[in-house]
A and B are shown apart, each in its own frame.
Chain A
Amino acid sequence: MVEGQPTAGARTGQGSMRRVRSRAIAVLGGLLLASLAAMAWSLAAGAMPIGAADLWAALSGGQGGMEADIVRTLRLPRAVAAFACGGLLALAGALMQVLLRNPLADPYVLGISGGAAVGALGAILAGATAGWIDSGAFIGALAATLLVFGLAHGDGSWTQTRLLLTGVIVAAGCGAAVALMLSLAPEGRVKGMLFWLMGDASGATRPWPALALLVIGLAAAMPFSRELNLLSRGEVTARALGVRTGRLRGLVYGLGSLLTAVAVTTVGSVGFVGLIVPHLVRLAIGNDQRLLLPAATLAGGVLLCAADTAARTVVAPIQLPVGVLTALIGVPVFLFLLARHPR
């Protein structure tokens, strides 16, 4: 981004894009700091508060001891999982909003979370272990993605309305299946199911695939970010300016689905992060995907990491599912935005 900064002084009436850009770069810097702060809070806070010195010692692999154990085996995986999945959901949400040209779209709008829920609850119902529940969720998410893609793309058209309607219907079908499984499930497994459905980071012991995918996903989307700007302005405009929209939409669809599937597999279907984070970031820095995508990714990570820390500390020793907190924050924020921006 730095090489894009012109060195010559702005002439009169010019440089306004540069002002927008430097403001956005300041926002990105601020989000980077906020990410570090959220991670530090998440590692330090809990039933056993850990000071900065011990935290540093634990992370730098210094001495052993209980603090180091807690940080390394409990809090770090959970904090990283929450941050990575928040980022994944926000990035996927931003991509889906461009794909469907609808600022109110979210990563689950195409039925991915419904499919994952069916897979995960099916696995819980069958008494599977954590690893199999994750696999079930991932397979369910991919199956729903392929189903929606196949049904909506069957006639070769790519209309958003068709895609959206197919996604809504598949999600409704999954919802019915989920309700069926909840009513059939034995008492002892219902709580686990409900926690999964609301989104819960407490069981996230293997966060690194999610973090790796976050980096890869952002790196894969960034080269196309200016083309995504054009796509968000409409199919004809984008194609007339030389964008291969069919290929680009396939890429966005596939990438958005994969990001969502991994996030849902790791922490369950946490709501509202993928919807409100891109929206809030857009209000702050505008709709230029070159800045929006990285900013939304960081902001999503910060939000989910902080929300998860709050979820396990506010009413300790009870741990809330983080999805409840994001929804409690998300619903009023969203209604506020909707009231401010009538569409």
Chain B
Amino acid sequence: MKTDARPPVLAADRLSVQVGRRNVVHDLDFTLQPGDTLVILGRNGAGKTTLLHTLAGLRDVAGGDVLLSGQPYAAWPRGHEACLRGLLAQSQPDFFSATVLETALVGRHPYLGRWDWESPEDEAIALAALATLGLDGFAERQVPTLSGGERQRLAIAALLVQQPRLYLLDEPLAHLDLHHEIGVLDHFQALARSGAGIVMVLHDINLTARYASHVLLLDGQGGHEFGPAREILTAERLSHAYGHPLRAIRDGSQTLFLPC
């Protein structure tokens, strides 16, 4: 990793997270440097979303600390944390109708003062993000008229508009077709190369192998394994975590995992 005067994007220090009385993780330690992409894997109900929300500062920890750019969430001035980390939630409910552009502009909220309105610059940022996700020309559309995949891309666009340093993505590939899956992951890879940190929950092990620098594997019983992707992604570990046998197939430099 190149030397960076800035503190790590995100760090967990002896972090424990619980749902009710059940452990999701216990004594988790990791450091996410600029350029790192951490993928969280685990079976349904293992607590991936809970952990991601804890890393986003939206839930209380059961023990330990989450450090965003070197400081606990509580130490950041209220609202400033939203300039540093963004969260793509698992679902984007729409209770009220809104246009695509209005929805994308939501990401500018942390940068605006109480009485400010979005400036043409904010609008330019939003339109650029929409174009990145292939939604140019959609600005005036009403969100309820979009398809599931288009809504997911809109949610990702709104997150890009937020321009945080840390991106927390909960199943970013939901509803996306293959072309957009790769497009989205390539874009976040490019963001990581320019100094961002990425943490995402994925279900596709092979895409994880292709894009992750680090992997956190939750076993659903409070146990976890964390390390560089190459170390964690083994047939034995994955079979144990998912409770289903997998085998690894080597293809040149790539390893593919298939369920048996």
Contacts and interface: CB of A to CB of B under 8 A. Distances in A.
Given A240-B58, A240-B86, A287 B96 contact: yes
Nearest to A292: B96
21 contacts: A13-B127, A14-B120, A17-B102, A102-B95, A226-B112, A227-B109, A230-B106, A232-B96, A233-B95, A233-B96, A234-B93, A237-B92, A237-B106, A240-B86, A241-B106, A242-B79, A242-B82, A282-B96, A286-B98, A286-B99, A290-B117
Q: Which of A14, A240, A244 has the most CB of B within 10 A?
A: A240
A165 interface: no
A240 B117 contact: no
Contacts of B87: 236, 240
A131 interface: no
Contact of A15 (B56, B89, B103, B120): B120
A16 B140 contact: yes
B120 A241 contact: no
Interface stretch (A2-10, A180-188, A189-197): A2-10
A185 to B, nearest CB: 42
A229 interface: yes
Contacts of A13: 127, 139
Nearest to A103: B96
Contacts of B106: 229-230, 233, 237, 241
A201 B107 CA distance: 45
Interface of A: 1, 4, 6, 8, 10-11, 13-18, 21, 101-103, 223, 226-227, 229-230, 232-234, 236-237, 239-244, 282, 286-288, 290
Interface of B: 53, 56, 58, 78-82, 86-87, 89, 92-99, 101-103, 105-107, 109-110, 112, 114-120, 123-124, 127, 139-140, 162
Contacts of A15: 120, 123
A102 B58 CA distance: 24
A21 B98 CA distance: 14
Contacts of B82: 240-242
Contact of A6 (B115, B119, B162): B119
Contacts of A16: 101, 123, 139-140
A242 B93 CA distance: 18
Contacts of A237: 89, 92, 106
Nearest to B131: A13
Contacts of B110: 241-242
SS class of chain A's interface: helix, strand, loop or mixed? loop
Nearest to B168: A240
A319 B253 CA distance: 87
B119 A234 contact: no
A240 B120 contact: no
Contacts of B80: 242
A288 B98 CA distance: 9
Contacts of A10: 120
Contacts of B78: 242, 244
Contacts of A102: 95
Contacts of B86: 240
Nearest to B98: A287
Contacts of A230: 106, 109
A243 B87 CA distance: 13
A24 to B, nearest CB: 11
A60 B249 CA distance: 91
Contacts of B102: 17, 286, 288
Nearest to A287: B96
A43 B169 CA distance: 59
A5 to B, nearest CB: 8
Contacts of B116: 4
Contact of A4 (B81, B93, B117, B124): B117
B120 A232 contact: no
Given A233-B106, A240-B87, A287-B98, A21 B127 contact: no
A239 B58 CA distance: 7
Nearest to B81: A242
Contacts of B107: 241
Q: Which of B58, B86, B162 has the most CB of A within 10 A?
A: B58
A8 B119 CA distance: 10
Contacts of B140: 16
A8 B120 contact: yes
A186 to B, nearest CB: 47
Contacts of A234: 89, 92-93, 95
Q: Which of A11, A241, A287 has the most CB of B within 10 A?
A: A241
Given A236-B89, A282-B96, A17 B79 contact: no
Contacts of A290: 117
Contacts of B89: 234, 236-237, 240
Contacts of B103: 233
A74 B89 CA distance: 56
